[in-house]
Chains A and B, each alone.
Chain A
Amino acid sequence: MKKVLILLLSLVLVFGLAGCNSNTPKDDASAETPTGASSELEDKLVIYSTHSEEMLEAVSDAFTEKTGVEVEFINLKGELADRVRAEKENPQADIMFGGASSLFIEMTEEGIFEPTTPTWAGELDSMFKDSEGNWYGTIKTPVMMFYNKEMLTNEQAPKDWADLAKEEYKGLIVSRDSASSSIRSTMMSLIFQSYRNDKIDEAWSFLKNLDTNMKNYYNSGTMLFQSIGKKEAAISYATQSSIIDNITQNNMPLEIIDAESGSVIITDGVAAIKSAPHPNAAKAFVEFAGSAEIQAMFANEFNRIPTLNSALKDCPEWMQTEYKAMDVDWSVLSEKQSEWLQKWDSEIRNADKDLKKE
């Protein structure tokens, strides 16, 4: 008898809670969106991001300290955009933090963001922001080639992206798989170089050769750097900050390549999400995360390059020297990215190789 009662009680509790939980955000949202008059900060903020836990923790703690708003965050990596879209009808997150500008451009068209007007917006170069304030680029993330110095000499190392397809590097290259948001942007930028010359087929054949040379695609950065560190492979490409992290923290003998045609420089954006549960806190966070102070903190503690010139002066010295940047029109990428990525994933990668055991 007791057991039955306990069961029933817990059932009531369970469904009771369920009711409350799914109710609250909706009520908040409907109360806030039409007027937006009240500017008092909510006591909570939810961030969906592509940044590392450590970095998110640092910015969240700083934000909480300044405003008293509690911050919850998750790192969704390559699935960030997909998740924000899936929740469009009932957003659970207030902030989309990280991801390439091409994604932000595409999602702006889908009407997912709530425009904001942070105080530093005017200072920002127009290539780092949406003209209507839907999103702002606050971090420059170069994706660069690198190699293990103990395996290749400077002469032997590739000089440019095109070299990666050369026969001599067969089995020496490793890469993250398409779950990585930075690799997605990199692949698209490489395709774009041929696309704008109307020679997109060249891009596909380059990627096919690259795939032939590829020793392995890894699902995690750890495994990627492990394989380079343990000399399973010599060459790879990754975000500059992760390469530097592994040089400084894990003492890896890595050398960064300043590619002749330039490295892919992703602009990592931040945006407030429309009809989010905590709109005022979201606005405050955009203002906060893009400020020169936080950009400089990211630069000094996490090797992330700022987009604001006023932040740059307080940054590590290496950031002052510019690497060559690949010329990319991110608005074109935003139109083409789904199509290209799907083709790369399902037709180019591993073509004709399935079922063959290595």
Chain B
Amino acid sequence: MKKNSFSAILKICCYFVLFWVLIGVIVVPMLNTIGLSFHTESGVDIQNYVDYFSLENNLNVIKNTLFLGVLTIILCGIVGTTLAFYMSFIKVKNQKFIHMILLSPMMVPGVIIVIAFIQLYGESGLVTKSIQLILGLKNIPFHFNGLGGIMFVHTYTQYVYFYLNVYIALKYVDYSTIDAARGLGASRWKIFTSILFPEVLPALLSSAIITFISGISSFSAPNLIGGRYRVLSTQIMIAKANNYMNIASMQVVILMIMGISVMYLIRYYESKCAQESMIRVVPISKQKIEMPLLRWIVNIIIGATIILIIVPIIAIFLLSFVKSSSMMMDIFPKEFGLLNYKKLFSKRRVFKPFLNSINMSIITVVVGLCISIPTAYLTTKRKNKINRIAELLIMLPLAMPVSTIAINLINAFNVKNIFILNHILIGTYWILPIAYIITSLPLFMRTNIIAFESFNTSLEHASRSLGAGPLYTFKRITAPIISPAIISGSALVFIKTIGEYTMSALLYGVYNRTISIAMVNAMQEYDIGLSMSYGVLTILICFLAMTLILKLDKEIL
């Protein structure tokens, strides 16, 4: 009896802390921004919105943003799904190695990719000029800017979501069903539509949500190469820099509405066609492509894809050894050396951003786990109203573009705020880790829920009834089973956090300059080489984290 009341108090405390955090850092800041978007010179009304929607330019910006989001889904979907099917059904040499390469864009932060792409495919880029020289063209073969450029970057950085999710989903297809269908005379198309497609649909839908949200909120690509293609995320930044916080807030609200409505639309569709997942019995047996011509074509396409994926990464490594000034006028750099690395490791100020990013990523992982593990545990154990609300709140940031989260935080925490005990957070160290934690919560929550759901509670009961205490049970039974999924989820969050740029640019201060900020700064001050060596350092760290994931999470391989 005594024990029970103790655990009840613990539970109440747990809920209290959880809701305090969720309401304080997610809900209230969001309401704050919505409120601010109605502030006008004459008081509180909808004039901002009326003015905004009456300008054709602004409507175009909204159209552009939506179009970008949809196009991102389509392109990433096609590339990622095709690759996943190829890797699952076709016999490939060096399967593991190619799989690693296909996953590698995950390890490279978005900003550095954009910078590398400009050096490669820009008007005077290495690749652009090489093609022009080799083919003897008068004009450059392509223009890497505007919508096309942004889409190239988005496809590169985000097809991985589709690839990985579909790849994992295909692992749960029971091959004997396919065999049976074939035996009954079903055509390939029929097999695809009635067996394979329903199985990968949830994976497609959840990838679509992620790519759409990151598509409409992407900042570095439109900002650096968008040229004349303008989207909401860049307009928000401009309004903010011009001291029109209410207009920026209004644009944030529009972006949030876009994100949230698309997410719930897809979720709704998902719930309508949800089905029991199969329990895998027979794994897919991989086949060779028999027709030689077709095999050649497929091999060339896959080969080209792999080259496209790996070239920017090689370029980053290569350019990190180039003397920056030789990149200003020469198209093919001539002077190489260790100069950039010397600068990076010898100056405390230059190296500090790297440490800051690592520190903040670790804080994000630790605090994120502290919040998400109890919540995931509670929500999987019992599906009551409170748990469902908690889950909904934790997943909300998934639908919010990252720049909107940052603006919400600025609006909420530049004055004394009761939720953080009447402190002001803007400009301090802690604002950035808080932002990182908010965006990482949905990812944590998902991996943790998967971990707890796969965990059979009867094991726990068995252990308890055999006389083991709850802590002993947790240590010996629960932890070993759930920890691989949780650790690999954490490593994923770590990778995503360490190179984050959009929120960092809005919230960083003197004490927490991140590696992505330092990278862009170096780029702006004629020091491309240094910028690239920051990139190399980040890629190496992410590579380590990635190896950890692959080691722990057998599903991904």
A contacts, CB < 8 Å to B: 1, 3-4, 7, 10-11, 14, 18, 21-23, 26, 46, 48, 52-54, 57, 72-75, 77-79, 81-83, 85-93, 178-179, 216-217, 219-223, 225-227, 229-232, 245-246, 249-252, 338, 341-342, 345-347, 350-351, 353-358
> Which 5 A-B pairs give the minimum distances between C-beta atoms?
A92-B427, A90-B424, A230-B124, A220-B524, A229-B329
**Which of chain B's residues 458-485 have a Cβ closer than 8 Å to chain A?**
471, 474-475, 479
> Cα distance A81–B244 when bound, in Å?
12
* Residue contacts A-B, CB under 8 angstroms, 12 given: A7-B366, A14-B363, A21-B430, A22-B430, A90-B414, A222-B526, A223-B118, A225-B526, A229-B329, A250-B328, A345-B235, A357-B147
Q: With A18-B430, A249-B325 as given contacts, are A355 and B525 in contact (CB-CB < 8 Å)?
A: no
Residues of A near B147 (CB, < 8 A) are 355, 357
- In-complex Cβ contact of B426 among A52, A86, A252, A347 (8 A): A86
* Inter-chain pairs besides A22-B423, A246-B328, A346-B55, 13 sampled, C-beta below 8 Å: A22-B420, A26-B423, A26-B424, A74-B509, A74-B513, A79-B241, A87-B414, A222-B527, A232-B123, A341-B242, A345-B239, A354-B57, A355-B67
Contact A232 B124 (CB under 8 A): yes
Q: With A72-B510, A354-B230 as given contacts, are A14 and B329 in contact (CB-CB < 8 Å)?
A: no
Residues of B near A82 (CB, < 8 A) are 240-241, 243
A77 CB to closest chain B CB, in angstroms?
Answer: 8
Q: With A22-B430, A92-B509, A347-B55 as given contacts, are A11 and B367 in contact (CB-CB < 8 Å)?
A: yes
- Interface flags for B412-436 (1: CB within 8 Å of A; 0: not) read 0011100010011111111000000
Interface flag for B370 (CB, 8 Å): yes
Residues of B near A227 (CB, < 8 A) are 123-124
Contact A230 B243 (CB under 8 A): no
Interface flag for B146 (CB, 8 Å): yes
User: Which residue of chain A lies nearest to B517 when distances are taken between CB atoms in the complex?
Assistant: A74
Contact A250 B526 (CB under 8 A): yes
> Cα distance A201–B223 when bound, in Å?
28
Contact B428 A92 (CB under 8 A): yes
Contact A358 B146 (CB under 8 A): yes
Contact B325 A93 (CB under 8 A): no
> Cα distance A229–B430 when bound, in Å?
42
Contact B424 A338 (CB under 8 A): no
Residues of B near A356 (CB, < 8 A) are 228
Residues of B near A357 (CB, < 8 A) are 146-148
B185 CB to closest chain A CB, in angstroms?
Answer: 47
**Which of chain B's residues 336-352 have a Cβ closer than 8 Å to chain A?**
349
A218 CB to closest chain B CB, in angstroms?
Answer: 8
User: Which residue of chain A lies nearest to B352 when distances are taken between CB atoms in the complex?
Assistant: A72
- In-complex Cβ contact of B510 among A74, A79, A216, A250 (8 A): A74
B contacts, CB < 8 Å to A: 55, 57-58, 60-61, 63-64, 67, 118, 123-124, 143, 145-148, 223-224, 227-230, 235, 237-244, 247, 325, 327-329, 331, 349, 363, 366-367, 369-370, 410, 414-416, 420, 423-430, 471, 474-475, 479, 508-511, 513, 520-521, 523-528
Residues of A near B524 (CB, < 8 A) are 77, 219-222
Contact B366 A251 (CB under 8 A): no
- In-complex Cβ contact of B57 among A57, A246, A338, A347 (8 A): A347
Contact A22 B64 (CB under 8 A): no
A178 CB to closest chain B CB, in angstroms?
Answer: 6
Residues of A near B145 (CB, < 8 A) are 216, 358
- Of A18, A48, A79, chain B has the most CB atoms within 10 Å of the CB of A18
User: Which residue of chain A lies nearest to B55 when distances are taken between CB atoms in the complex?
Assistant: A347
User: Which residue of chain B lies nearest to A87 when distances are taken between CB atoms in the complex?
Assistant: B427
- In-complex Cβ contact of B238 among A46, A85, A223, A346 (8 A): A346
Contact B510 A354 (CB under 8 A): no
> Cα distance A167–B97 when bound, in Å?
54
Q: With A11-B370, A229-B328 as given contacts, are A86 and B55 in contact (CB-CB < 8 Å)?
A: no
Residues of B near A216 (CB, < 8 A) are 145, 227
Residues of A near B479 (CB, < 8 A) are 3
Contact A226 B124 (CB under 8 A): yes
- In-complex Cβ contact of B328 among A4, A225, A342 (8 A): A225
Residues of A near B58 (CB, < 8 A) are 346
Contact B57 A85 (CB under 8 A): no
User: Which residue of chain B lies nearest to A179 when distances are taken between CB atoms in the complex?
Assistant: B241
> Cα distance A222–B230 when bound, in Å?
22
Residues of B near A57 (CB, < 8 A) are 349
Contact B244 A342 (CB under 8 A): yes
Residues of B near A219 (CB, < 8 A) are 223-224, 524
Residues of B near A73 (CB, < 8 A) are 510
Contact A355 B224 (CB under 8 A): no
Contact B124 A222 (CB under 8 A): no
- Of A10, A83, A179, A252, chain B has the most CB atoms within 10 Å of the CB of A83
Contact A72 B242 (CB under 8 A): no
> Cα distance A81–B243 when bound, in Å?
8
- In-complex Cβ contact of A226 among B228, B244, B327, B423 (8 A): B327
Contact B366 A14 (CB under 8 A): yes
> Cα distance A72–B230 when bound, in Å?
35
Residues of B near A26 (CB, < 8 A) are 423-424
Residues of B near A222 (CB, < 8 A) are 328, 523-528
Contact A85 B521 (CB under 8 A): no
B481 CB to closest chain A CB, in angstroms?
Answer: 14
A283 CB to closest chain B CB, in angstroms?
Answer: 19
A246 CB to closest chain B CB, in angstroms?
Answer: 7
> Cα distance A304–B135 when bound, in Å?
46
> Cα distance A164–B539 when bound, in Å?
43
- In-complex Cβ contact of A354 among B64, B327, B367 (8 A): B64
B43 CB to closest chain A CB, in angstroms?
Answer: 19
Contact A354 B427 (CB under 8 A): no
- In-complex Cβ contact of B523 among A14, A220, A229, A347 (8 A): A220
- In-complex Cβ contact of A78 among B124, B241, B363, B416 (8 A): B241
Q: With A79-B241, A93-B427 as given contacts, are A355 and B60 in contact (CB-CB < 8 Å)?
A: yes
- In-complex Cβ contact of B525 among A79, A91, A221 (8 A): A221
Residues of A near B55 (CB, < 8 A) are 346-347
B181 CB to closest chain A CB, in angstroms?
Answer: 44
> Cα distance A346–B370 when bound, in Å?
43
> Cα distance A75–B526 when bound, in Å?
15
Residues of B near A347 (CB, < 8 A) are 55, 57
Contact A250 B521 (CB under 8 A): no
Residues of B near A249 (CB, < 8 A) are 325, 526
Residues of A near B420 (CB, < 8 A) are 22
> Cα distance A220–B528 when bound, in Å?
11
Q: With A1-B471, A250-B526, A355-B63 as given contacts, are A89 and B57 in contact (CB-CB < 8 Å)?
A: no
